Amino acid sequence: MDRFIFCASLAIGLGLADPGYTQTSTRFVAPKAETEKLSIHAATDLYALEPLVQDFQQISPGTTIEVVEYVTNDLFAAAAKACTEGRSLGDIYLSSSVDQLIKLANDGCARRVEGANLAQADRRANWRDEVFGFTYEPIVMVYNRNAVPSSEIPRTHIELAELLRREASRYRGKVGTYDIRISGIGYLLAFNDARQTTTTYGRLLESLGRADVVVRCCTSEILDEVSAGRLLIGYNMLGSYAYERIRRGEPLGLIMPADYTLVLSRGAMVPTNSSQIGMAARFVDYLVSPRGQSVGQAQSFFFGPDGSAPPGIDGGDIVASGIARPIVLAPALLAVQDKARRQRFLEDWTKSMIQPK
């Protein structure tokens, strides 16, 4: 293979991107003579995106693909700024924080795209032909299999709250979750938790706060620490990332909460100012196509849209048993993105979770 992957970790000064956002840029050079370039700005781990990008290059061998990685909030901020200023920033946005994509689309920053597979996409995974959901990812709890005895494994949200209260000393500083102040997906998940059950959410928040919860920007950082044993439990983790670790042999256990399991559909959109609209539409179409879906399910996201869990995961079929709570791509997500509401929610969250040092 004459392909080479150019990797660069940069904090600042990468081409068009604004300084101040943490980004990593990776180039997948076209397998054949390069005829066009596609720039994907993604809040998605590269390992998950790589199989899809490389498979897409089999179909479209003349395309060099650049993947710029962000944290969700940074991607949103950069995209919103580019949109307001009428600048071009990348050709495709991929983000697990779909409320941010809906907000961008509502503000007129998304371009309507069409494609054979897009036309068949589920209505709940397609908003205005502008934002498309292309994955099916349960939100799970993870624990360190070596350090958490099976009797203590929480099966529901309330069990987690009670465990933290009961075994307060043992779990103090040993539970990790998103810092929703910097992670859009963390905020979206917490918001949905709060909407599911007000009381459970309150108790959970209280318990997490008392247990000196550790907050991080990203699922992967918490997963690293849980598998290393520095943390025992990770809360509100993306199931796909966690399963990937288990597949690699890390000592992690995965729980799909039995009271309710949030299910996230990662979103894709093409910004208005994309310079490669045709190619971008083809990539988004590829993501929802049967081929893209099967590659994604086999190598990146593992869980199928029918609710099927990959081998080795118990918890059964969350769709059939009715505990799945999909976060639908709909205008209701605009309320999540309301700045007054967000500010209040963050204030409440911070008050409960972050103990003044």
Partner 1 sequence: MAKREPSLFLRLLTLVSSVLLVGGLFLSVLAWYSARHAADEAYDRLLLGAAYQIADAIVIQEGKPEIELPVSAFELLGLSDRDRIFYHVLDPAGRTLTGYDSLQFPSTPRPIERATIVDARYGGEDVRLARVARRFDDPQMRGDAVVLVAQTVGARWTLAQNLTLRSLLPVGIMGIIAIGSMIFAVRRALAPIGRLETAIRNRDPLDLTLIDVTAPRELQPFVGEINHFIERLRGRVDLMQQFIADAAHQLRTPLTALNGQVDLLSNDQVSEDGRKHLDRIRVRVAQLSRLANQLLSHAMIAHREQAVATSLVDLTELTRRALGDAVPDTLERDILVTFQSSNGRLEVRGDPVNLAEAIKNLIDNAVRHGAPTAIAVRLYREANCAVIDIADDGPGIPADRWAQVSSRFGAASFDAKGSGLGLSIAAAVAAAHRGGLSFKTASDGKFVAELRFPLEGRS
Binding interface with partner 1 (CB under 8 A) = 105-108, 123, 127-128, 195, 330-336, 338-341, 344
* Residue in 193, 223, 234, 231 with CA at minimum distance from that of residue 349: 193
Q: How far apart are CA 267 and CA 186, in angstroms?
A: 15
Q: Which is nearer to partner 1, 124 or 166 (CB)?
A: 124
DSSP for residue 271: B
Q: What are the tokens at 124? A: 């709940």
Q: Which is nearer to partner 1, 110 or 232 (CB)?
A: 110
Min separation Cβ 83 and partner 1, Å: 12
Min separation Cβ 328 and partner 1, Å: 9
Beta strands 5-10 and 23-28, pairing class: antiparallel
Neighbour count for residue 36 (Cβ, 10 Å): 15
Q: How many residues can be counted in the chain?
A: 357
Min separation Cβ 267 and partner 1, Å: 15
Q: Which is nearer to partner 1, 103 or 157 (CB)?
A: 103
Residue type, 41: H
Min separation Cβ 271 and partner 1, Å: 16
Strand blocks (E) in the chain: 5-10, 23-28, 36-43, 63-69, 92-95, 126-127, 131-133, 137-144, 175-178, 214-216, 233-238, 252-255, 261-264, 267-269, 324-326
Neighbour count for residue 76 (Cβ, 10 Å): 22
Min separation Cβ 116 and partner 1, Å: 20
Cβ pair 266, 44 in contact under 8 A: yes
Q: Which is nearer to partner 1, 123 or 357 (CB)?
A: 123
Min separation Cβ 265 and partner 1, Å: 15
Min separation Cβ 129 and partner 1, Å: 8
Helix residue spans in 232-310 (DSSP H): 239-247, 277-288, 290-295
Q: Which is nearer to partner 1, 27 or 342 (CB)?
A: 342
Q: How far apart are CA 132 and CA 328, in angstroms?
A: 11
Q: Which is nearer to partner 1, 317 or 348 (CB)?
A: 348
Q: Which is nearer to partner 1, 34 or 85 (CB)?
A: 85
Q: Which is nearer to partner 1, 237 or 329 (CB)?
A: 329
* Residue in 207, 260, 251, 206 with CA at minimum distance from that of residue 232: 251
Min separation Cβ 297 and partner 1, Å: 27
Min separation Cβ 272 and partner 1, Å: 11
Q: Which is nearer to partner 1, 128 or 248 (CB)?
A: 128
Please give the full DSSP string across 68-137, using - where no structure is assigned: EE--HHHHHHHHHHHHHHT----SEEEES-HHHHHHHHHTT-B-----HHHHTS-GGGEETTTEEE---E
